[in-house]
């Protein structure tokens, strides 16, 4: 420990190092339940690429594991510390280095908060689409680490589609440049894409070139109430089948609606079994919402209410963004699942989840990026009750098994981390897993980067 600190201090300013165990302990976890975390030896908050390189060279020389972190809003334990590790928090590297309206790119450091970037590019008439509900807190580095999605991804796609190039510090301290800042480019293997979703296991992202779009008109939202989740899912299928391009298509079940009302007094309709929110940012959103409203009625919607204006639309979005925090207040603990199925199987997924909740005698609220088939079943339980905790874990696993059975994936956007390690092996199969391990060891032969995650 002394040798580690001495060597780190040689290349870092004093304020970049935290050694007080009470403070370092607060960096041990992200926001996931049921994920083991170790005790960090030290937390480092670098402000430059050179400082990150110094940390990695030190770690390699002394064989110390390194856990990169952004804002720790992750929901899979991917940013959890391991015993004796260096926690490398990138939050102080938070400069927007460039915004180019001509090239339609932004160049940023990893600690930039998603919403800060969105607002900065918005002032120039540009748009950075990936918008996780945690956008006011989470960082671009974390978004790249987990390949984040969000509310508008149904129309604009996820983080992977916006990362053009990266600067990465490798495990041994070398600096790697991947990708491009051009509109096109196919030189060599796509290492940029490989880093997106790699959960800090291949290198430390210290700079990113991100694609921007022209800012679309402000969206208008419609809320539709359904007597069952199946009817709401039927509406989702109709909307997509007819070729509509909503900028948001989100579902909240009754448990979620009630939790949001209880936490934030949003006045959402509590008698509905499922509330569907659909938005358009097209030139004539009112006409598109009217057409979608008819499709919702054909699927059995009992009430279809288009928002009057942008302000009312924003309130509905706020309600959806507060779904996960609201469900966290239902009981003392939650396990948030993230199963994504083909859109056509969404109804089966949600009905199956309800059956699992009944089987285990648990409350499982579901909110979903319905247009993407990406469900977030949230298992609400009392963590002081061992039996209920055991049932919560078992139901969580059954939900993932159901997702795979329906042709889906165990994680649409939250990542594998510690939480879903066993399940990754099941989804990838033996050959896939072997190749992925080979890639990991090509980048990080000593296994120092975020050990114990993914595999």
CB closer to ligand FAD out of 133 and 272: 133
Question: Residue 394: enclosing H or E segment and its boundaries?
Answer: helix 386-405
Site string for ligand FAD, 324-353 (x = CB under 6 A): xx----------------------------
- The closest alpha carbon to 101, from 127, 139, 130, 140, belongs to 127
40 scored as a contact of ligand FAD (CB under 6 A): no
Q: How many CB atoms lie within 10 A of CB 404?
A: 15
Each residue 142-181 as x (binds ligand FAD by CB under 6 A) or -, in order, gives xx-xx-xxx-------------------------------
Site string for ligand FAD, 104-123 (x = CB under 6 A): ------x-------------
Return the SS3 of 50: helix
Strand partners, 274: 226, 253
Residue at token pair 């430390």: 204
Among 207, 244, 414, 420, binds ligand FAD (CB under 6 A): 414
Only one of the segments 11-19, 128-136, 215-223, 243-251 lies at the binding site for ligand FAD (rule: CB under 6 A); that segment is 128-136
* E-assigned strand segments in 109-161: 126-127
Instruction: Report, in Å, the least distance between residue 414 CB and ligand FAD.
Output: 5
Burial readout 273-299 (b: 16 or more C-beta within 10 A, e: otherwise): bbbbbbbbbbeebeebbeebbebbeeb
Contact call for residue 72 and ligand FAD (CB under 6 A):
yes
Smallest gap from Cβ 76 to ligand FAD, in A, equals 8
Do strands 363-369 and 374-381 pair parallel, antiparallel, or not at all (unpaired)?
antiparallel
Report the nearest approach of ligand FAD to the CB of residue 322 (Å). 8
Total Cβ atoms within 10 A of residue 166: 24
Around Cβ 215, how many Cβ atoms within 10 Å? 16
The Cα–Cα gap between 98 and 107 comes to: 5
Closer CB to ligand FAD, 360 or 396, in the complex: 396
Q: How many residues bind ligand FAD (CB under 6 A)?
A: 36
Which span (7-15, 70-78, 178-186, 240-248) binds ligand FAD, by CB under 6 A? Answer: 70-78
Residues that bind ligand FAD (CB under 6 A): 30-31, 68-75, 78-79, 90, 110, 132-134, 138-139, 141-143, 145-146, 148-150, 199-200, 204-205, 324-325, 413-414, 450
């Amino acid at each position: 420990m002394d040798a580690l600190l001495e060597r780190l201090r040689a290349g870092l300013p004093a304020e970049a190092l935290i050694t007080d165990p009470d403070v370092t302990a607060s960096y041990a976890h992200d926001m996931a339940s049921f994920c083991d975390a170790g005790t960090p030896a030290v937390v480092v908050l670098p402000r430059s690429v050179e400082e990150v390189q110094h940390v990695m060279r030190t770690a390699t020389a002394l064989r110390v594991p390194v856990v990169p972190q952004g804002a720790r809003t992750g929901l899979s334990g991917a940013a959890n510390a391991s015993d004796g590790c260096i926690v490398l928090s990138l939050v102080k590297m938070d400069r927007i280095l460039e915004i180019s309206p001509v090239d339609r790119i932004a160049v940023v450091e990893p600690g930039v908060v998603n919403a800060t970037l969105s607002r900065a590019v918005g002032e120039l008439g540009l748009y950075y689409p990936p918008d996780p509900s945690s956008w006011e807190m989470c960082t671009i580095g974390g978004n790249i680490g987990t390949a984040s999605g969000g509310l508008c991804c149904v129309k604009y796609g996820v983080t992977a589609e916006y990362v053009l190039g990266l600067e990465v510090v490798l495990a041994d301290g070398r600096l790697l440049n991947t990708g491009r800042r051009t509109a096109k480019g196919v030189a060599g293997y796509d290492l940029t894409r490989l880093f997106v979703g790699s959960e800090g296991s291949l290198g430390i992202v210290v700079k990113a070139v991100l694609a921007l779009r022209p800012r679309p008109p402000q969206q208008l939202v419609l809320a539709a109430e359904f007597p069952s989740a199946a009817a709401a899912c039927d509406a989702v299928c109709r909307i997509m089948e007819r070729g509509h391009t909503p900028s948001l298509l989100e579902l909240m079940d009754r448990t979620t609606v009630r939790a949001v009302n209880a936490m934030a007094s949003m006045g959402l309709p509590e008698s509905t079994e499922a509330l569907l929110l659909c938005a358009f940012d097209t030139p004539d959103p009112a006409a598109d919402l009217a057409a979608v409203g008819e499709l919702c009625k054909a699927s059995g919607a009992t009430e279809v209410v288009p928002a009057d204006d942008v302000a009312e639309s924003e309130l509905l979005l706020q309600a959806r963004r507060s779904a996960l925090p609201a469900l966290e207040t239902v009981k003392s603990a939650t396990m948030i699942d993230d199963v994504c199925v083909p859109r056509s199987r969404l109804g089966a997924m949600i009905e199956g989840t309800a059956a699992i909740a009944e089987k285990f005698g648990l409350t499982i609220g579901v909110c979903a990026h319905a247009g993407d088939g990406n469900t977030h079943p949230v298992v609400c339980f009392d963590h002081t009750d061992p039996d209920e905790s055991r049932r919560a874990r078992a139901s969580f696993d059954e939900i993932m098994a159901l997702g795979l059975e329906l042709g889906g994936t165990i994680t649409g956007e939250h990542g594998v981390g510690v939480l879903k390690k066993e399940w990754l092996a099941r989804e990838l199969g033996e050959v896939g897993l072997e190749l992925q391990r080979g890639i990991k060891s090509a980048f990080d032969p000593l296994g120092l980067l975020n050990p114990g995650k993914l595999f």
